[in-house]
Amino acid sequence: MNRKKISVLVTIVILLLVCTSCSLLSTIGGNSTAGNTQVGGNISHLDLDDLDTSNPAAVVASKTVSSCVRIIVTLSSGAEMNGAGFIITTDGYIVTNRHVVVQYRSGNDLPSGLSDHRIAVTQIKAVFADNTYLEADEIMFSDNAAVDLAILKIKPSSTTFTPIELDASSQLYYGQDAYTFGNPEGIGLLFSHATISSPAHSFKSNGTDFKDIIMLDSNVNHGNSGGVLLNSKGRAIGVVYGRIESTGSTTTVNNTYGIGCALPIKEVISFINKSTYSSIIKYVQYSESTESDSGSEIGSGSSGSES
**How far apart are the C-alpha atoms of 272 and 282, rounded to whole Å?**
10
Summarize pLDDT for 267-279 with one digit per residue, the tens: 999 999 988 888 8
Nearest CA to 104 out of 153, 152, 141 is that of: 141
pLDDT values of the chain reduced to their tens digit, one per residue, 307 residues: 555 554 544 444 334 443 433 332 222 222 223 333 445 545 544 555 678 888 999 999 999 999 999 999 999 888 899 999 999 999 999 999 998 998 766 545 544 544 556 788 999 999 999 999 999 999 999 888 778 999 999 999 889 999 999 999 889 999 999 999 999 888 899 999 999 999 988 777 666 677 889 999 877 777 789 999 999 999 999 999 877 665 554 444 455 666 889 999 999 999 999 888 888 888 899 887 644 333 333 333 433 222 2
Note the pLDDT of residue 45.
47
Number of H helices, E strands in the chain: 4, 14
Q: Are 95 and 268 in contact (CB under 8 A)?
A: yes
**How far apart are the C-alpha atoms of 276 and 218, rounded to whole Å?**
35
Note the pLDDT of residue 97.
94
Question: What single letter denotes the amino acid at residue 50?
Answer: D
Nearest CA to 195 out of 211, 222, 174, 181 is that of: 174
**How far apart are the C-alpha atoms of 101 and 135, rounded to whole Å?**
13
Nearest CA to 177 out of 218, 227, 144 is that of: 218
Note the pLDDT of residue 287.
83
Note the pLDDT of residue 179.
96
Measure Cα distances from 138 to 35, 183, 186, 197 in Å.
19, 19, 20, 32
Q: Which helix (H) or strand (E) holds 215?
A: strand 208-216
236-243 and 121-127 beta bridge pairing? unpaired
**DSSP 3-state of 266:** helix
Note the pLDDT of residue 23.
31
150-154 and 133-141 beta bridge pairing? antiparallel
Question: What is this structure's pTM?
Answer: 0.74
Note the pLDDT of residue 290.
47
